[in-house]
Structure 1
Amino acid sequence: MMLPGKGGERSLRGAPPEVVSTPSVSGQRRRWRQNVPVTERSAVPMIRFGEFELDIPDARLRRSGTVVDLPPKSFELLVCLVRRPQTLVPKDDLLDIVWGRRFVSEGAIKTVVSELRAALGDDAKAPRWIETVPRRGYRFIGDVIAEQAPTPAAASATEPAPGPLSKAMAGLAAPAPDGNLPPPGPALFGRDEDIAALCEQVDSTPLLTLTGPGGVGKTRLALAVARARQGRHAGGVWWLPLAPLAPATTDSGILRSALARALRIAPLGTGSDAELVRAIGGQPLLLVLDNAEHLLDVLAPWLADWAPHLPGLRLLITSREPLQLPGEQVWRVAPLPVPAGGEDSTAADMAGNPALRLLVTRIGARLQGFTPGPAQQQALAKICRSLDGLPLALELGAARVPVLGVHGLAEQLEDDAAGHRLQLLTQGARTALPHQRTLRATLDWSHALLTPTEQRVLRRLAVFRGGFTAATARAVATAPGEDPWTTLDALATLGDKSMLVAAAPDAPDARIGMLESVREYALEQLESSGEADATAQRHLLAMVALFTEAEAEALDVPQLPWLAPLEPELENLRSALRWAEAHADDPTVTDARLDLVAASARYFQRMALSAEGARFCLAVRASAETHRDPLRRAGIDLAVGTLCRFTPMLTAEEHLALARRAVQTFEDHGDTPRAHYAHYLAWALALEVGEHVARAHHVDRMYELVQPSWGPMRTRLMRSAWAQDQRLLGHADTFLQACREDLALLRDLEAQAESWIAAHTLMLAEHDLGEVDRALAIGQSAIDEIRAAGRLRGQTQLLVMHTAMRADAGDVAGTRAALADAVPTLGTMQITELLWLAMAWLAWHEGRGADAARLLGWFDSPVRGCGAYGPRTFTRRSIARLSALLDTALGAREHEDLQATGAALGQAEALRVGLRTSDGDRRRAPRPGTPPQTDANPTAS
């Protein structure tokens, strides 16, 4: 192998690579001075950082005036890093620049960095100067001051004209001039992967456009990429800001003159595009055009005329929309990832979150020593989510913290009704472009670039919360008499102009979103346009159409696929219902409101939001009772019965009366599908109130109403009701067989959520026959599936029943673990009351007999309102066994007194008693872990 050098080529065959690549410091300095002309050496700046002075012309590093003995490769690597401060330098670039990729691996970089840190007194774990970016490269994070070294007058007269630096030092100090990039700004957060990917793409793509909404950080990202490419383009890396150019007065000549000035080309000879091409020449160069969106009409055709004639030219453009030129590659810059909400967010996750790091850093620049505690971190995470991770908004928000505090800013941003963010986010940097100093100015700039049609569609779309589909957008943003295709075209162009974002582009029914800051701005425009009420009414009608269509097929489609396209519509549904409530004096709005409440009841139930849906139901009952259309009243009856049965808002008897009235109305009007479901609901409610004889009528009627076209999904409720009746009639084997067949069928139909419900009933069937271990195994398997699917909240009944069975069986550790998941559901539906029975059994098995008796009293308390359970149910069998054990352990009289005391505990005290670990009653209770005496007779009571 031969290594090219100034004096020819030197053979390296047989020589260890570290020997030939590590000459002495003095030798390195001598070659540096010999190979580089005086004028070039003097053009290289002196660089200071902290107490260090990096004298590049003399190849020395001094610390407080004393020369630091630095190995040559360490010196070269240091120069490479300090010339790109606050910028990630990828490992591949270091290998190219410092080693030329000869005989070295990435391990050589680590060795040299370690030497360099030792010389600088730096700590890898808490770096002051050099930061390691795992698996990517290194970044110099210190503050750098560059000073031009004086040029000797005699030398300038005698030395030859500046030329390229020697190949040995290429990339350490780029030729002068190597471009005109502005000084580095604040460090970027969360963009390392983007920078690395863009560096690869910009080298291979003639035209690369960074698009994204205002304030997302396109300019800073482009600058970071440009700095990372310095030394990689022989013609340099050049920066041309376009924001100062006015659209009305800018033509191709103005653009050509601006570019010539930026490239430091004499104006003479650049009077035409052809002359500009000749002046630039054939050297490869990278040209960055910033803030192009307002000049696209003139810029795009101008670039198309001359840029293709320069094969070595690479264009990197920032714009809020693409140029739409052949060969253009578009990179959409997304906001920074924000911390996850809820309990899923750990301290470590938040500490590494880019949006949170940016916010904390910017606050720290204003409040010296700012270190947020856990509570403040949660508030900061809320701020990041409220501001969509938009870097400009986060920086503007940080400016308000010294006055409002972290919690105050979070509260202001969370106040949706106030619409404060455009007033809050106004404290931008004085050096920023005028349209980037406030959030409103940024949005004004973007809005002014829209056509009147785009402005109209954008403001109407602001009524949506949580995104929308193209279909719902067209229905809401198109007023009567307007062309819906015009709306569809505007959706596309608004996306191109970064005013809309793809919320889930890979979904079957792709959703479109709007950043919350853009939405608030658009809402202001909607209010001032006078179109707000008309648009909100179209939004209400769109939700009615969406949920009515979904409800019509709810019993024919498995639950999870049915829910998938509807889950993102929750905020839209809430918004429509609240607006309708505020405009209930309009009869048209009232009708739509009743229809939406009726159509969305099952959605609220399946979303595990029964209590919220029930409140919407009860709010419209008065209107429904007096409505002229009995079918609308029956729809509300059915919705109330569906949702309120799981809440304490009405009694079971009231629910049953409403369900039976709905049955009669639907049958009278020939609405067979809803009549069939109303009979099922009446059957379930009759079971709850103990009307065991009346239930048979509803089951028989369900069979009579079945239509030939109905599939097994729609008839499963009828089969379930019949099977449950077999259980209550004492036909345990029949019940078990029906449960097994139902579970197998639902699994064949890939109805996962319904199979969990079937597993619940099969668990009961196995337990009825004394197969406790098998019952618990079935339940645990289903719960594991539910947890993996992230649906535990929606399957409360199974979780609660399984917890009660574990407690009954004496699984103390398992019961306590299950209660951690189940206790938060207390009060959300009637079945959760079984948790009091579970806690009573837990107390018994832990030796807390008195607590067990009190909790049993609270479970059956008339104050609390215990539901009706038949004599053959698990619940009544379990209560009877525990009562018998307590009679024996405590004595019948004391047991009765303790139950009477427990009946008045109240929920808070009952919960404290249920979850504590001892009550001083161990002398009368059996040893912890005493196995229960399971009664295998299903008829025992």
Structure 2
Amino acid sequence: MPERQMLLLAGHPVRIGGRALDILVTLVERSGEIVGKRELMARVWPDTLVEEGNLKVNMNALRRALGEGPGAPVYIATVVGRGYRFVAPVTVTEEAVFTPAVDPPRRHNLPTASTRLVGRKEEMAQIARDIGETRLVTIVGPGGIGKTTLALAVAETILDQHADGLWLIDLAPLKDGGLVAGAIATVVGLSTDSGSTEAAVADQLRGRQMLLVLDSCEHLIDGVAVLVDQILLRAPGVRFLATSREPLRVTGERVRRLGGLDAPGKSAGLTAAEALTFPAVQLFVQRATDQLETFRLSDADAAGVAGICRRLDGLALAIEMAATQIDAFGVAGLHDEVEHRLRLLEGRRGGAERHRTLAATIDWSYALLAEDEKRALRCLATFASSFRLDAAGAVAATAGHGADAFVGIVGRLVAKSLLSAEVRDRSVVYRLLDTTRDFAIAKLAEAGELDNARRRHAEFTLRSIEQAEPGPGTVIDWSDRCSQTIDDIREALRWAFGPSGDAGLAIRLTVEAIRYWKQLSLPEECRVAAERALDDRYAKWRDRTDDLILNMTLGATLLHTRGPMAEVKEALGKALAIAEDIGDAELQLECLSGLSEYELWTGDSRSAMAIAEKIQALSGRGPSVADGGADAPAGSALSWMGALGAARRRLEGIVRRPVSALSRDPGARFDLDQRLTALGTLATVQWLQGFPDEAQATAETQLREAEASNDAVSLCCALLHGSQIIAMYRRDYEAAWQHYTRGRAHADRHGLRIWRNMADCSCGRLRLYAGRPFDLAAYGQALEEVRSGGFRMRYPNYLTNYGEALARQGDLASGLAAVDEAIALCEANGQVVGIPEILRIKANMIRFGDPARGAEAADLYRLSIARARADGSLSWELRSTISLVRHCRGRGGDDDAEAMLAATYARFTEGFGSGDLVRARALLDARNQSAGRSD
């Protein structure tokens, strides 16, 4: 009914703003036509210059009034870039036909909702129930969390439950608690002639049945509490729903603390559909779409939007403000801006003054604090993550607060929603929201207190990590404790290495933090930190032990992130020289273990064995330098050299020792886990010796223990150098592919570039044998990266895969040249255990690529068998014998080869379900059946 400025639904007026109704009238008059945005704005705001955002806000309010939403009828269609069209059927009728219902007496003053509540259904239902059960419910939470929006949404659902109405009293504009009673009287329509306004209001409300919504009580908390208490006593029919940043602390109050909207955690491969199941993302997308009609959340942007919502702590106001910048920055740019600048959130032009910017919202709370509370909040902002009361006291209590008084200050900051508190491990931990922390840090700098507070924080962080011990429990327990500290370590290091920092403190922090980086599988971060600490600029702040540990750490992290580069040996060599000079046998052992691993990775088994002998010489020279320390490196070296029996004895000496609840010292630095390394090598040795089932069981043990260790390198090793290899040996290509996929993703996630390249190279053979696509160019590039990184331990295997792929694609000569190079590398470095298989593959290439050279292929098979026998490698012997029998049967048969296959198969005692044994059994059965038919 445009003449009466009224919209009816079933005869009852619909609550709708005047501007929104004008937009509706304009669109209905032009039903089916596109009405441009400028034309609408000129019609609705004829004498006012407004921005397009005003039209969007009112259009959203209109859609809500019409009930548009998922599954509901659509009335208005957006024509992107042009305007809007009313698409529902329209019937024009004389006004006299309409008989509106008689308007009921005015029973509330709730505003028309300008936004739709997102993600608070459970809270709404709970608070609605609370109001039915108790007379005072207070929604408590930090500024911008959405307290007012939630309170209004709850009030909308219970409008008809109070005979004398439901009334909103906005207390934000008031500056004096004595004015609260007058504000209530004015809204409800009371007369207050008594000298005591509070008492008069309470008396006049006696006998009434109503709900009073008191919004923004925190700055008038004492006055509000006194008045509410009087009304609760004198007017039993009156109930209250309050919003505040701290409780009123009135008898009978039920407090509902409001947290941020749920947002996705950090997750690789997050899709848009998955992200949109979280309320924080839903809110962002709704507001972004309001701002930019063409915005749609894509899979590519899902992780970015999730990161924005997490960084903003799920604060509804902050998310809304960020989303309005989508047209200026896009998701990626907005993510970066939110990460670095709180001032980006410039906010709304309308609404309460305290909500116009996020900074103003926080400033509103900050201004209400006492001076000692402000000082404490500023200092606590130096913590990058959660903290306990003792930590808070160490950093903030010395800033002019006594210990006892400080406990009270922390309690008041929690009550006022500027600190959050939660129970963890039977104690209370505290944290600031990121948005509050950013604000408080700025205030700390303004007050000239930043460096002093940062120093206290860095000194406390150093003391805490120096004193921390894993203690009883699991590796996961220790990892959880490390993860709770790592962000503060990073903050302390950032300041300590900075222009106003303390280089001596920075060096001590770096050395003590090494075990934290190790336990959290952050080798690349640790490598960068060690390199920085070893810079010549900081030499005068380091002692010899610092140099030893930093070089040893640099060598280990470089090895597992970049490969066996020359810098690895240089760093480990420096560390070893210092350890020998100061006579520290423990650290000598760590350095020698690292050098042994380095030599194995370069493919030099003989040098690795020589280092193992040095380790053996250290036995008994320290309290924990026990016999057997050389077993793991010696066992690995011997296995590559083909001495399988000796290798197995050494390796079993490691793995058969009792395993404690923690398989290794969880507080250790980036040393190598000898047991896990030995398990992987032992699995290979067992398979080579002809025990496929034992090998699989050992690989499974290695993987299980690596997973429990929470160590990135150990898990990569178990997946790629243990389980994947054994699965391929057993010809279980599906399992091998799963291990590869997981190992590759794990290496990527932890920045282990050399392991990623090794994964891609080891996958070459898997692709060839499992019939998967093989990208020769990409494989060649990965091979070159491994080679340039100095890695030679498995490089001949990878090179053989490359040669086989070349031959399969028709370039037999280049393929054979690659395989011959692989054999030469094995012979030169003493890593000869794989030569029988390489010879077999070379024979296959000739057999299929140049059938005229069949005799040469047969000779290579027999050479492979002979070398396998010499090493005691029954599995290589069986595999080559199978290939020889197949080759000979294609050329008329060979009784010696057939007898050899039967004899080799008979020496196996297990593993009859593995691929090679199944194939051998099939060949033997086929020959027996053929012989039976001939009989």
Q: Which residue number corresponds to residue 722 of structure 1?
A: 631
Q: Which residue number corresponds to residue 529 of structure 2?
A: 616
- CA distance in 2 between counterparts of 1:863 and 1:535 reads 49
- CA distance in 2 between counterparts of 1:744 and 1:762 reads 13
Q: How far 1:443 sits from its partner (Å)?
A: 1.8
- CA distance in 2 between counterparts of 1:328 and 1:851 reads 69
Q: Specify whether residues 236 and 921 from structure 1 end up closer, same or farther in structure 2 by C-alpha distance, changes over 3 A only.
A: farther
Contact 1:426–1:439 (CA under 8 A) maintained in structure 2 = yes
- CA distance in 2 between counterparts of 1:363 and 1:861 reads 44
TM-score for the superposition, normalised by structure 2: 0.69
Q: Specify whether residues 682 and 764 from structure 1 end up closer, same or farther in structure 2 by C-alpha distance, changes over 3 A only.
A: closer
Q: Which residue number corresponds to residue 543 of structure 1?
A: 461
TM-superposition CA deviations, 1:901-932 (whole Å, max 9, x none) = 999xxxxxxxxxxxxxxxx9995499xxxx99
Pairwise mapping of residues 215-234 of structure 1 onto structure 2 (< 5 A)?
215-234=144-163
Pairwise mapping of residues 214-293 of structure 1 onto structure 2 (< 5 A)?
214-247=143-176, 250-251=177-178, 254-268=179-193, 271=196, 273-293=198-218
- CA distance in 2 between counterparts of 1:887 and 1:356 reads 50
- CA distance in 1 between counterparts of 2:213 and 2:778 reads 76
Q: How far 1:895 sits from its partner (Å)?
A: 4.1
Letter in 1 for 2:759: L
- CA distance in 2 between counterparts of 1:86 and 1:936 reads 85
Pairwise mapping of residues 373-452 of structure 1 onto structure 2 (< 5 A)?
373-414=298-339, 416=340, 420-422=341-343, 424-430=344-350, 432-452=351-371
2:550 pairs with one of 636, 641, 652? 636
- CA distance in 1 between counterparts of 2:318 and 2:715 reads 39
Q: Which residue number corresponds to residue 823 of structure 1?
A: 744
Q: Specify whether residues 48 and 348 from structure 1 end up closer, same or farther in structure 2 by C-alpha distance, changes over 3 A only.
A: same
Q: Which residue number corresponds to residue 768 of structure 1?
A: 685
Q: Which residue number corresponds to residue 250 of structure 2?
A: 325
- CA distance in 1 between counterparts of 2:491 and 2:356 reads 32
- CA distance in 2 between counterparts of 1:290 and 1:751 reads 52
1:693 pairs with one of 597, 610, 613? 610
Q: How far 1:290 sits from its partner (Å)?
A: 0.8
Q: How far 1:370 sits from its partner (Å)?
A: 3.9
2:287 pairs with one of 362, 365, 380? 362
- CA distance in 2 between counterparts of 1:876 and 1:368 reads 54
Contact 1:467–1:568 (CA under 8 A) maintained in structure 2 = yes
Structure 2 SS opposite 1:216: coil
Contact 2:372–2:401 (CA under 8 A) maintained in structure 1 = no
- CA distance in 2 between counterparts of 1:199 and 1:320 reads 20
Moved more, 721-730 or 221-230: 721-730
Contact 2:169–2:187 (CA under 8 A) maintained in structure 1 = yes
Say how many residue pairs are matched. Answer: 750
Q: How far 1:562 sits from its partner (Å)?
A: 1.5
Q: Which residue number corresponds to residue 596 of structure 1?
A: 509
Q: Which residue number corresponds to residue 7 of structure 2?
A: 48
Contact 1:560–1:752 (CA under 8 A) maintained in structure 2 = no
Q: Which residue number corresponds to residue 410 of structure 2?
A: 491
Q: Which residue number corresponds to residue 529 of structure 1?
A: 447
- CA distance in 2 between counterparts of 1:421 and 1:880 reads 53
1:202 pairs with one of 124, 131, 147? 131
TM-superposition CA deviations, 1:624-647 (whole Å, max 9, x none) = 655563233233233324423323
- CA distance in 1 between counterparts of 2:148 and 2:321 reads 17
- CA distance in 1 between counterparts of 2:290 and 2:786 reads 61
Higher helix proportion, which one?
2
1:125 pairs with one of 71, 74, 97? 71
Q: How far 1:534 sits from its partner (Å)?
A: 1.8
2:645 matches 1:645? no
Contact 2:462–2:508 (CA under 8 A) maintained in structure 1 = yes
- CA distance in 2 between counterparts of 1:272 and 1:862 reads 83
Letter in 2 for 1:125: G
Structure 2 SS opposite 1:505: strand
Contact 1:213–1:320 (CA under 8 A) maintained in structure 2 = yes
Contact 1:87–1:228 (CA under 8 A) maintained in structure 2 = no
Letter in 2 for 1:409: L
Any unmatched runs of 5+ in structure 1? 1-44, 58-63, 65-84, 89-119, 130-141, 143-148, 151-171, 708-714, 870-874, 904-919
TM-superposition CA deviations, 1:194-240 (whole Å, max 9, x none) = 10111112211232211111111101111111222222233432222
1:183 pairs with one of 109, 112, 116? 112
TM-score for the superposition, normalised by structure 1: 0.69
Structure 2 SS opposite 1:243: coil
Contact 1:856–1:899 (CA under 8 A) maintained in structure 2 = no
Contact 1:363–1:370 (CA under 8 A) maintained in structure 2 = yes
Q: Which residue number corresponds to residue 919 of structure 2?
A: none
Q: How far 1:441 sits from its partner (Å)?
A: 1.8
Letter in 1 for 2:382: V
Letter in 2 for 1:515: L
Contact 1:857–1:900 (CA under 8 A) maintained in structure 2 = no
Q: Which residue number corresponds to residue 908 of structure 2?
A: none
Contact 1:463–1:535 (CA under 8 A) maintained in structure 2 = yes
TM-superposition CA deviations, 1:375-411 (whole Å, max 9, x none) = 4545433432333321112222233334444444333
Contact 2:619–2:628 (CA under 8 A) maintained in structure 1 = no
Q: How far 1:448 sits from its partner (Å)?
A: 0.2
Q: How far 1:447 sits from its partner (Å)?
A: 0.9
TM-superposition CA deviations, 1:323-373 (whole Å, max 9, x none) = 223332221111212234332522212233322222222233333454344
Moved more, 890-899 or 621-630: 890-899
After TM superposition, where is structure 1 displaced by more than 6 Å over at least 4 residues in a row? 85-88, 120-124, 172-175, 747-757, 784-794, 847-858, 876-893, 900-903, 931-938
Q: Which residue number corresponds to residue 657 of structure 1?
A: 573
Structure 1 SS opposite 2:211: strand
Structure 2 SS opposite 1:231: helix
- CA distance in 1 between counterparts of 2:435 and 2:127 reads 27
- CA distance in 2 between counterparts of 1:336 and 1:461 reads 24
Q: Which residue number corresponds to residue 835 of structure 1?
A: 759
When the two chains are superposed, the root-mean-square deviation of aligned CA atoms in Å is 4.9
TM-superposition CA deviations, 1:274-316 (whole Å, max 9, x none) = 5444422244432221100001122223333442344443222
Q: Specify whether residues 480 and 258 from structure 1 end up closer, same or farther in structure 2 by C-alpha distance, changes over 3 A only.
A: closer
Contact 1:742–1:758 (CA under 8 A) maintained in structure 2 = no
- CA distance in 1 between counterparts of 2:206 and 2:474 reads 66
Moved more, 220-229 or 856-865: 856-865
Moved more, 273-282 or 333-342: 273-282
Q: Which residue number corresponds to residue 513 of structure 1?
A: 431
Letter in 2 for 1:489: G
TM-superposition CA deviations, 1:809-831 (whole Å, max 9, x none) = 43333333333333352772656
Q: How far 1:525 sits from its partner (Å)?
A: 0.8
TM-superposition CA deviations, 1:648-705 (whole Å, max 9, x none) = 365342133133134235536xxx8766655655665566563423324435535432
